[in-house]
A and B are shown apart, each in its own frame.
Chain A
């Protein structure tokens, strides 16, 4: 089993739609959780960190369920500019590395 797994995608949605991405991780000792966005042929960039209480940043909402080892990302009112690959990232804590999921590609269609 891979350490971090994500919905395989791709997701093709119309503008204005709401889309949800799911991610599961296998290491229960994981401490930090993130969603990154990667545009084609570019480096990943942080979209948002994910906290235990859940957090929201504009149209984006992230949730963490430690008991189920599950992370989600909800995008409301999708824009064309949201088209990208979304990477779920987990870190086991101090002195550990970042483990990336395979990514889920989103295409928002006009």
Chain B
């Protein structure tokens, strides 16, 4: 089945550790996105990528890093510099170059700092 797969579903991190969240899509989409959602709030953009080997910072990129070495993969690293990383992380993709097409989401990763 085509879609977006995020792993793991739940992740626990000790303070001071870096962790990497996986996002893979087999929809042949050019664009991929990472969003963060805090309880009772909307989605905020962390990073996005419109093409392989290129990505742009979103509104809240500090403390995060990404790579886009392959079209189907867009991993997000939450570094120790991110002061409040506990949140629900959502990865999305879209064709990117076709007008009026929506974003498709993975099931999300719930990160908790312990």
Contacts from A to B (Cβ < 8 Å):
31-32, 34, 41-46, 49, 51, 87, 89, 93-95, 97-103
Contact = CB atoms under 8 A, between A and B. Distances in A.
Interface of B: 33, 35, 41-45, 48, 50, 58, 88, 90, 92, 94, 96-97, 99-108, 110
Contacts, number: 53
Given A49-B100, A97-B33, A43 B45 contact: no
Given A42-B108, A45-B105, A98 B33 contact: yes
A43 B108 contact: yes
A98 B100 contact: no
A97 B107 CA distance: 19
Given A102-B42, A103-B42, A43 B107 contact: yes
Given A42-B107, A95-B50, A102 B94 contact: no
Contacts of B35: 100
